[in-house]
Amino acid sequence: MKRYISAILVPCFLLQFFGCYSLQPLEASDQIFGNHTNPERSIKFILKNGDEITTQIENCGKVTNKKFVVFGTGTCINKRTHKNKIFRGLLDESVIDSIKTGTVNSENYLVCWLKDSTRISFKQNDYSTFELSSDSSYWVVKDLKSSYLFNDNDVKEVQVDKINIVIFGILGIGLIVFNIVLFENAPFR
């Protein structure tokens, strides 16, 4: 029985310890949202001043030629269908009709009414607002601690996690060989 347990735990440990993915640089930062559809994948920004910011793709956005941006996670309510869903991302002045802050049940909210009859409400700590210079391109990034805004020219490199097929193949073959050797002399009952 110990051999069976070892045959399962050892490969799982090896995959957990070594992993099959790594952060790899992108050639152009504009590729992030088009080619990487999984919003939970990690993204790392390396700035020219040496700072590094790591977060998930769903927690960042690129803004070009906008003056005002709301970035965060809130509740989206469509007035026509009365359906609720979670909203994560950026709102800029081109889609916002009006904005109001208010308090409901002792919680502060920012409510944005959009031009398409949608209302998005953000709790106090779930959003950030930014006033931008309209002639530049900016990254808005939120991690566990706070929100960041930096100019696209300040970014040295952008990296996204990718599965490394070579390491995955080598580990897979190694685990198969390991199991064959382990069970070669095992009595099966």
Q: Could you list the mean pLDDT of each consecutive 10-residue stretch along the chain, which spans 189 residues?
A: 66 62 56 54 84 81 81 86 85 87 88 89 86 76 74 82 69 73 61
DSSP 178: H
Amino acid letter, residue 89: G
pLDDT reported for residue 20: 56
pLDDT reported for residue 120: 92
pLDDT reported for residue 134: 67
Cα dihedral 20, 22, 26, 30, rounded to 10, equals 80
Q: Give 136's Cβ-side CA count (13 Å radius).
A: 13
Residues paired with residue 161 on neighbouring β-strands, in sequence order: 23
pLDDT reported for residue 36: 47
Torsion over CA: 26, 27, 29, 35 (sign): negative
pLDDT reported for residue 189: 47
pLDDT reported for residue 30: 43
pLDDT reported for residue 29: 45
